[in-house]
Homo-oligomer: A and B are copies of this chain.
Amino acid sequence: MTTPAHPTATPAPPSLGVAAIGYAFMGKAHSNAWRNVASFFDVPAFEQKVLVGRDATAVAEAATRYGWAESATDWREVIDRDDIHIIDICAPGWMHAEIAIAALEAGKHVLVEKPLANTLAEAELMTAAAAKARARGVQSMIGFNYRRVPALALARELIAEGRLGTVRHVRAAYLQDWLADDQSPMTWRLRKETAGSGALGDIASHAIDQVLYLLGDQVTEVTGRLHTFVPQRPGGNSAGEGLEDVTVDDAAWATLSLASGAIASVEVSRVATGQKNSLKLEIYGDKGTILFDLENLNELGFLDATAPVREQGFRRILVNEPEHPYLEAWWPQGHIIGWEHTFTHQVRDFLTAIRDQTPPSPSFEEGLNVQYILNAVEESAAAKSALIQLPGTSPETSPTEGA
């Protein structure tokens, strides 16, 4: 008997072997999640087997530091190992497609950081591979980790329960300031060929995913606008001298028509001085409103417009009660959790889905969908911001649109 080319996932191994690829910012965050998830949640048995990176010394040191049993430099070899069942891809976006497709074909469950890929073509290939693998019981998921902020999970529950009534409009913004200083040097993140896009792909993707996640809705049309406020930055040439052109946006604006009739505005910036990591969401329905800011991620703002007017007001729910999503596992009420546990919850949900043989969400399809939207925003921006219809959707029709 020969091993099939594309094996199914090993059914219920005694312990799932995990390998992570990448040990920079995201690798550190994902490792932290793997190292801690079993201390708080009931998850299937797993082992932090291998951390993979290109620099043997550095990855070995990182493996020790972050709790991995071994390190390796060749991700292909790791994918081939029988004792590895899960591949967690934290490598740069241009590597995602190759690794993910190979891993899925090898029957490994795959968790991949967002964005799915740097190009639509790659993202489509990955999604096709994921669909095929899923049919064989091999799971895959994209790392829109903010779906696992307890406050946002609670927001989704409240919206799904109808507490906002009909959602009319959404204001989504993701504001950072790490590029506010125009003397901050050139990096690969600021070149289109390595980064794909700028603020749009990096942070608007999160904002747009949240709109879809919270509302359970689809985008039909978009307008977009991109801008680069700092068009050149120092240190471009090999000697770190001179100025190099920045070829991605550092701010972007979009409006999104949703299938339900709602409209969302999205605004992102990496030059919003004083805003550090502020994903702001405001969701206005006819019966209530939700507010959120990632810099205070343990809090959710909620206004219930069905209460008597005299006592209506935005309430600050400290999302730290056992009754709240994910919170039963943590500390007593009022003992807030940190940003990193969005990843802990993500790994928990991924492991649970593998155990239950339930395809986890957000799927690669969902990641691809966000990329179609981002792509349409870029198309609109290139066409003087004119409204672009998403492929496969009907245009929204409103009697007063453009009145």
- Chain A residues engaging chain B, CB cutoff 8 angstroms: 25, 29, 31-32, 35-36, 38-39, 65-67, 154, 158, 164, 168-169, 171, 173, 176-178, 180-182, 192, 223, 225-229, 231, 245-249, 251, 253, 255, 261, 263, 265, 267, 269, 271-278, 282, 284-289, 294-298, 300, 302-305, 308-318, 320-321, 323-324, 331-341, 381-387, 398-403
Residue contact B334 to A337, C-beta cutoff 8 Å: no
Residue contact A255 to B169, C-beta cutoff 8 Å: no
Residue contact A181 to B403, C-beta cutoff 8 Å: no
CB-nearest residue of chain B to A385: B223
With a cutoff of 8 Å between Cβ atoms, the chain B residues found around residue A297 in the complex are: 336
What is the count of identical protomers in the complex?
Answer: 4
With a cutoff of 8 Å between Cβ atoms, the chain B residues found around residue A31 in the complex are: 39
Question: With A226-B401, A302-B311, A341-B338 in contact, is A36–B38 under 8 Å at CB?
Answer: no
A276 to B324, CA, bound (A): 14
A403 CB contact (under 8 Å) in B228, B288, B332: B228
Residue contact B227 to A277, C-beta cutoff 8 Å: no
Residue contact B339 to A271, C-beta cutoff 8 Å: no
Among A36, A66, A300, max chain B CB count under 10 A is at A36
CB-nearest residue of chain B to A381: B402
A135 to B339, CA, bound (A): 42
CB-nearest residue of chain B to A192: B403
Residue contact A333 to B263, C-beta cutoff 8 Å: no
With a cutoff of 8 Å between Cβ atoms, the chain B residues found around residue A401 in the complex are: 226-228, 381
A310 to B261, CA, bound (A): 29
Residue contact B331 to A340, C-beta cutoff 8 Å: yes
CB-nearest residue of chain B to A403: B226
Residue contact A229 to B178, C-beta cutoff 8 Å: no
With a cutoff of 8 Å between Cβ atoms, the chain B residues found around residue A302 in the complex are: 311, 313
With a cutoff of 8 Å between Cβ atoms, the chain B residues found around residue A253 in the complex are: 255, 263, 265
Write 29 A-B pairs (CB below 8 A) sorted by A numbering.
Answer: A31-B39, A38-B65, A39-B66, A39-B67, A164-B273, A168-B229, A168-B251, A169-B229, A169-B272, A182-B286, A226-B401, A245-B399, A253-B255, A253-B263, A273-B288, A273-B305, A274-B289, A274-B303, A275-B289, A277-B335, A295-B318, A304-B311, A312-B317, A313-B316, A314-B315, A315-B315, A316-B316, A331-B340, A336-B339
Sample of 10 further A-B pairs with CB below 8 A, known A181-B286, A225-B402, A384-B402: A35-B39, A227-B401, A247-B400, A249-B403, A253-B255, A265-B265, A295-B298, A310-B321, A336-B339, A385-B385
A138 to B397, CA, bound (A): 50
CB-nearest residue of chain B to A398: B227
A271 CB contact (under 8 Å) in B169, B173, B177, B387: B169
For the complex of A and B, list the 10 residue pairs with the smallest distance between their C-beta atoms, beginning with the closest.
A276-B334, A277-B334, A338-B338, A315-B315, A313-B315, A228-B400, A313-B317, A274-B303, A386-B386, A337-B338
With a cutoff of 8 Å between Cβ atoms, the chain B residues found around residue A275 in the complex are: 284, 289, 334
CB distance from A315 to the nearest CB of B (A): 4
Residue contact A274 to B305, C-beta cutoff 8 Å: yes
A286 CB contact (under 8 Å) in B249, B271, B400: B271
With a cutoff of 8 Å between Cβ atoms, the chain B residues found around residue A335 in the complex are: 277, 338-340
CB-nearest residue of chain B to A283: B273
